[in-house]
Structure 1
Amino acid sequence: MHRVEQVMGFPVSLRIDDEEVPEGLADAVFDGLRETDRRFSPFRPDSEVSRLGRGEIAADGVSADLAEVLSVAERYRRETGGAFDVRLPGRGLDPCAVVKGWSVQRAARLLHGAGVRRFCLNAGGDVVAAGGPWRVGVRHPEIADQVCVVLEIEHGAVATSARYARGDHILDGRTGRPATGLLSLTVVAPTLTEADVTATAAFAMGADGIAWAAGRTGCEVFAVDGLRRVRRTEGLPVAV
């Protein structure tokens, strides 16, 4: 089965290649993503995130899910020396850089729990898959209709942070200014939570983020720096 819906501001594609798909499973996947958006979007005034940002909820009174998201964000803030930060002056609390990968990875766990063996869940270009091989193209950072590398994933996740889709939207939390040292950075990791947040955090660090991401356990990296030089780790699963 193959289904595509617009959720959280981007297209989400679910493909399941098993011969039998449990009834209602796809509905449950997309309903869960929509519920996450309702709860955690900083653009919805009634969301838990917005209410926390306004001080209507105490930090120790948030839901277990939001506490988990904020814990991930704090860990990456510390590990990047503040380059990655979901609380930037003048912008309020915005955990979207964690929520996207975290919520899609949770959807993947739902699929695994239902016994699905072969699936690919693509959320705005960030992918979590199982039962491969799956081929994942990484868009060229400057030529929209070309890819610069094709990866082959058996079981795991791929996420890319770049400037081509939304401009200079990733800020360096240490300066508050756009991070411009890289054109794109892709991370392959066991989970989309780790791949997505690591890619965003490394991009926020600029050129130094390449080595930082490459040094993380289980992560492989493909990056194009501001001088258009390609950097990649030896274990990157490039398709043959």
Structure 2
Amino acid sequence: MGTVVSIDLADDLPAATLTAMIDDVCAWLHEVDRRFSTYRDDSEVSRLRRREIEVADCSSDLRHVLEACADLWRATDGYFDAYAGGPLDPSGYVKGWSVEVASARLAKAGSTNHCVNAGGDIRARGLSATGKPWRVGIRHPWEGDKLSWVLALTDCAVATSGTYERGDHVFNPRTGGPARGLRSVTVVGPDLALADAYATAALAMGEPGLAWLAKLAPDGYESAVVTDDGRAFSSAGLPAAV
């Protein structure tokens, strides 16, 4: 998926069991990359884009992703759009969803304390090896060696979407141009797939995304935002570390 994934297991389990868990997660993430990559000509997504296959012929995972993207398009008034850049690109949902599934697989295998980090999209369960919540730093959008916030996470997910690292990769579907107004959007909540998509949608909205993010708090999704002109905002329930 064009990023580095780290898996931190803090369970007191036999080494062989932990190794098997990691092998399973790695196999799953490579499967996701083979199926959903927009950079691989032989991926299922690429074949669908070229109309070599129909939706009805796709895997159940791809059909799920397409349905989820359609639901998010409606829920975000079109700002989360898997077609915003032109051809189908469900990456804004797939990375968070794949890590959420990876965490669920670890939990099913017996891991109650772990943290999976895919390029800043993070799903944490239980406690870290210190016996305390997992600490996650949110990178400062201009100064790479500094942090804007430090979060303390237990049984939740965090996703950040921004323009400071990959440049103009999120588009405003209303204007057709690159997203403007927000430099960094972080969303914390119970499901990484949704947190990832919500962060992308808010970034696409620009400054109106601040009011939209506030409406997500009753559903358990907190947020932290830095605007293009350097202002910082965070919701009241953001799990910031003391």
TM class, shorter-chain normalised?
Answer: over 0.9
Match of 1:117 in 2: 112
CA distance in 2, matches of 1:174, 1:43: 26
Shift of 1:88: 3.3
Aligned-partner Cα distance in 1 for 2:123–2:210: 21
Q: Give the Cα–Cα distance (whole angstroms) in 2 for the partners of residues 33 and 169 of structure 1.
A: 22
- Structure 1 residue 99 corresponds to structure 2 residue 101: no
Q: Distance in 1 between matches of 2:215 and 2:35?
A: 33
- Per-residue deviation at 1:210? 2.0
Equivalent residues in 2 for 1:59-208, closer than 5 Å: 59-88=55-84, 91-132=86-127, 133-208=133-208
Return the offset for 1:79: 2.1
- Secondary structure, aligned partner of 2:4: strand
Partners of 1:234 and 1:93 in 2: how far apart? Answer: 36
The Cα shift of 1:126 comes to 1.4
- Following TM superposition, by how much is the alpha carbon of 1:220 offset from its aligned partner in structure 2, in angstroms? 0.1
C-alpha RMSD of the superposition: 1.2
Distance 2:34 2:189 in 1: 27
TM-aligned CA distance change 1:88 to 1:235, over 3 Å: closer
Q: Give per-residue Cα distances to partners, 1:137-195, cap 9 Å, x unaligned.
A: 00001111000110111111011011111012111122221001101010001011111
What's the offset of the Cα at 1:230?
1.1
**Number of the residue aligned with 1:4:** none
Give runs of ≥4 in structure 1 deviating > 4 Å. Answer: none
Which range moves more in the overlay, 225-234 or 106-115? 225-234
Whole-Å Cα distance in 2 between the matches of residues 106 and 210 of structure 1?
28
> Counterpart of 2:232?
230
Residue 34 (str. 1) matches residue 30 (str. 2): yes
Q: Specify the code of the residue in structure 2 equivalent to 1:221.
A: S
Deviates most, 150-159 or 60-69: 60-69
In the aligned structure 2, how far is the partner of 1:62 from the partner of 1:214?
36
Structure 1: gaps (5+ residues): 1-7
Tell me which of 54, 57, 60 is aligned to 2:53.
Answer: 57
Scaled by the length of structure 1, the TM-score of the pair is: 0.93
Q: Equivalent residue of 1:177, what SS?
A: coil
TM-score by length of 2: 0.92
Once the 2 structures are TM-superposed, how far is the Cα of residue 211 of structure 1 from its aligned partner? 2.0
* CA displacement 1:47-66 (0-9 Å, x = unmatched): 11111111111123322111
Counterpart in the other structure of 2:220: 218
Alignment check: 8 A CA contact 1:168 1:180 kept: no
Q: For the residues of structure 2 that align with 1:198 and 1:185, how far apart are their CA atoms?
A: 9
State the alpha-carbon separation in 2 of the partners of residues 77 and 174 from structure 1.
13
Determine the C-alpha separation between the residues in 2 that align with 1:201 and 1:60. Answer: 28
Q: Percent identity?
A: 48
Q: Report the secondary structure of 1:68's partner residue.
A: helix
Instruction: Provide, for residues 24-62 of structure 1, a one-character-per-residue CA deviation record: whole Å limited to 9, x for no partner.
Output: 111110110001000111111111111111111112332
Tell me, yes or no, if the aligned pair for 1:80 and 1:205 is still in contact at 8 Å: no
Structure 2 unaligned regions, length at least 5? 128-132
**Whole-angstrom CA distance in 2 between matches of 1:56 and 1:213:** 38
Greater alpha carbon shift after TM alignment, 77-86 vs 62-71: 77-86
| Alignment partners' CA distance in 2, 1:213 and 1:69 | 23
User: Are the aligned partners of 2:84 and 2:172 in contact in 1 as well (CA < 8 Å)?
Assistant: no
User: Any conservation in 1 of the 2:97–2:192 contact (CA below 8 Å)?
Assistant: yes
Q: Distance in 1 between matches of 2:142 and 2:22?
A: 34
Is it true that 1:17 corresponds to 2:13 in the alignment?
no
